[in-house]
Structure 1
């Protein structure tokens, strides 16, 4: 059940304050393995698929004029039944509702961290002043597909929320083992070819005013993508066979 006060969460600017605990005045910088495990278990309890971690580079912080370092990315899978529905205003609202249900829990994660002495603040999911995709890429845990979507190994239909925090010793990945994906995408392109709204220009840049994903929940690029239809591991094996034949 969605809290009435949380209605239309996605379109609030600035982010509404649903925290129950204040940030500590002198936040801790290091988290124990036990407490981080507890946070991951809390995320799994609410059907998140897991947490990724980004350490922002000085270059990215300068590009977007931000002063944050450490990011927790809470990932969830959008429901298959909802993804397969025909696009409509009603579907768009249902997707909003699903997004809001997960968003409520992210405040709980922030409060969990605050209670344990860490600074924790949500990043607005529709904040145009910063690229959430750029932050996600710095986790070394995802790549950007040809259709301009973040692909995690969890699945193409991953939604996510982000919390920036004072914790410096998160288990950041040093290398991205998914960098083969753009090469595979360059041989495919079905997401561009089958877009019902022709929402990509001649340079394959997404035309946001044309794309109806946010308004009507169009997921055609997800549905047609091999990563959604076959899964990450199967596509990777296909790519490796393809490379051998080159």
Structure 2
């Protein structure tokens, strides 16, 4: 039997977008906003500035993106795929989604345009947007890895703010090389969702249909953490 989770989130906005949105945010207010986000369960923020080429490729007109990263429940991740697990994952998704709407309202209240990007919108890849932040990489098992961890879900807010602290370089590029030497996710995958060249096959992966999280649970970045894996990688390269 195939299950599904992540049902559409209701519109939780309580404040309208301003008619003449501001496009510059002060450092003090951005720090305050970040503190509120972290107090609301998120572990950090990243920022994507979408290029004209990217927008043309995906057929969107968004420019500035705030990425809200939250840790998925470890208790739920360790569960076997089941209808109950999908239900719990969806409840968590809905709960955090409501908090993301509240953060968008804070930006609107302070004069900025802020709209949540529908995480279930198949027209655009949120992972592709995450990569535009230069703050993330895609692992061999097609998971989006940030320094804060592999077990992260995220919501995104498109905004009028032009002076967010965008990054020009990606410090996580080394992860791609590390993944090519690891292969734990390939060995552990219960669905054999990799081809003969060890390329990930999304159509065989049951993560989004049944809540499978085996690749997360066995990944060194989840078991040991980003910093420890990076130290090990640095020793390997000496």
* Mapped partners of 2:124, 2:54: distance in 1: 9
The residue aligned with 1:75 is: 69
* Among 152, 158, 164, the residue aligned to 2:158: 164
The residue aligned with 2:211 is: 217
* Mapped partners of 2:114, 2:222: distance in 1: 32
The residue aligned with 2:113 is: 119
- Matching of residue 43 in structure 1 with residue 37 in structure 2: yes
Q: Which moved more, 1:202-211 or 1:214-223?
A: 202-211
Return closer, same or farther for 1:118/1:217 CA change in 2, 3 Å cut-off. same
- Paired residues, what number? 235
- Give how far 1:127 is off: 1.1
| Paired residues of 2:5 and 2:89 also in contact (CA < 8 A) | no
The residue aligned with 1:104 is: 98
* Mapped partners of 2:108, 2:195: distance in 1: 44
Deviation string for 1:214-239 (max 9, x for gaps)?
23221100111111111101111111
The 3-state SS of whatever aligns with 2:182 is: coil
- Give how far 1:94 is off: 0.5
The 3-state SS of whatever aligns with 1:241 is: helix
For residues 196-215 of structure 1, the aligned pairs below 5 Å read: 196-215=190-209
* Among 15, 24, 29, the residue aligned to 2:23: 29
| Unaligned stretches of 5+ residues in structure 2 | none
User: How high is the TM-score relative to the length of structure 2?
Assistant: 0.94
| Paired residues of 1:9 and 1:100 also in contact (CA < 8 A) | no
The 3-state SS of whatever aligns with 2:237 is: helix
* Mapped partners of 1:180, 1:111: distance in 2: 37
| Unaligned stretches of 5+ residues in structure 1 | 1-7
The residue aligned with 2:184 is: 190
Return closer, same or farther for 1:9/1:188 CA change in 2, 3 Å cut-off. closer
For residues 230-245 of structure 1, the aligned pairs below 5 Å read: 230-244=224-238
The residue aligned with 1:5 is: none
| Paired residues of 2:5 and 2:87 also in contact (CA < 8 A) | no
* Among 166, 171, 186, the residue aligned to 1:177: 171
